[in-house]
Structure 1
Amino acid sequence: MIKNIEKVSFFLLFHEGGWLLMYSMAHVGIRVQDLHRSLRFYVDALGGTKDKEFKMPSGSHLVFVRFADFSVELICKPGDERVPGRNHLAISVPSMEDALRRLSGCGFAAGPVGPMGDHARNCFLSGPDGEIIELCEGSL
């Protein structure tokens, strides 16, 4: 029996003969050119709260801005020539293995699972139109 649950969010994704249950949106990743300018916009102008921050070995600087039910991940990499904008959609899953098994059964393949912070794991895959999807298990 599950007790003390304040809110459970989920959505269903239909793909060729089956429903895939995902529990909640984790974050939307946005590639930015000027991290300070973007923080001013998402925190000062839109009212988000600066949350976790990571400096990656690749040179990327990641900052999560928290809103009520989701986060925006600001991704800044000096010298990155790619067009700024939406980079990926991250979906929280309760079990990475179950999600990967279900995706595989529907004909989708995901990249390798890796650590994300101290208590989480993630992997990336492409949607049917090439969109980047990140699956997240656990908590940053």
Structure 2
Amino acid sequence: MTTLNHVCIRVLDTQRSVSFYRDALGLTIQRELDMPDQGWALTFLEDGKTGFQLELCRETGRTQPYTLGDDCPHIALLAEDFLELKEKHQSMGLVFDELPSGIYFIKDPDGHILEILPPR
């Protein structure tokens, strides 16, 4: 058996992304790892509850945005305070799509899609 550990996304500006994930979703830095000899800087964010992490991977020296593709991959997050968080995201101008069920979608500064789900 395996368990999920983390998902990695590429970001252009680590500080901008950390601020977004902190302010919009309440995630905090768990650890940082610089690998200058390999050209990467990694920042791991966590929610403080599940142990699952979001790895922000920055290619040092890169100045051009990443091409994300056309297949619409996304990260889904459960929100205990779903209605309050949705209101916050609407006031921040982040909500770009909403399903009839109320589930909605936002994008991070690099264009990664985040699906926000109500608690089960």
Report the TM range for the smaller structure's normalisation: 0.3 to 0.5
**TM-score under structure 1 normalisation?**
0.41
**TM-score under structure 2 normalisation?**
0.48
User: By percentage of residues, which structure has more strand?
Assistant: 1
